[in-house]
Amino acid sequence: MTVPPSAPEPPSAPEPSPAPDPLRDPWIAPMRQALDEAARAPGTGDVPVGAVVLSADGTVLGTGHNEREATGDPTAHAEVLALRAAAKAVGEWRLTGCTLLVTLEPCTMCAGAIVLSRVDRVVYGARDAKAGAAGSLWDVIRDRRLNHRPEVITGVLEGECAALLTAFFRDR
C-alpha cells in the first residue's frame, strides 16, 4: 500500500505583534537606561539593579546602580543613589513631577525614600516576592496612611529585568 504524498504545509502566518500597551510602552526606553545602569553593578559584586529619575519633560536627572559592596554602605541601593543625584540636579529634596524607573521592585527602605522624595510615579520591571514594598510583599508606596502616594506602574521589560538578576544569582 502506498501512502499518498501529503500536501505541502501552507506558509505560517507571521506572529502578531503584541498589542500596544499605553501604560507601559512609554517607559520602555528609559527602562533600558536603567538596565544599562544595572549591568554596571556586578563588576563590584553588587546585585544588578539600576534606577533612573526623569523630570516631567523626560530629562534624566539622576541614575544609580547598587553599590553596597563597592562602598560598604548599606543604603547604597540604586533607587537611593538615583534620588540623591536627582535632588542634587534639581537643587532640592522635593522631586515633584518626576518619575523613578527601577529594574527591581523597591524594598521598604527605598519605598520610604520614594515617598519622602515626593516623586509622582514609580515604574519598575521585575517583582520582588521576598522584599518588594510596591505591591508584592508590602505596599508602602501606596499606603493610604501616608501623605504622599506615587502612581506605580509594574512589569515594564519585566522579563529582561528578571533575567539579569537570575543570571547574576545563578553565577554566584
Annotated binding site for Zn(2+), which residues? 77, 107, 110
Q: Tell me whether strands 121-126 and 99-104 are parallel, antiparallel or unpaired.
A: parallel
3-state secondary structure of 146: coil
Give the other-Cβ count within 10 Å of 31's Cβ: 23
Q: Which three cell numbers stand for residue 97?
A: 513631577
In the annotated binding site, the residues are 77, 107, 110
CB 122 within 8 A of CB 105: no
Establish whether 79 is a catalytic residue.
yes
HSE-CB for 169 with a 13 A CA cutoff: 7
Q: Which of 79, 105, 151, 158 is catalytic?
A: 79
Q: List active site positions.
A: 79
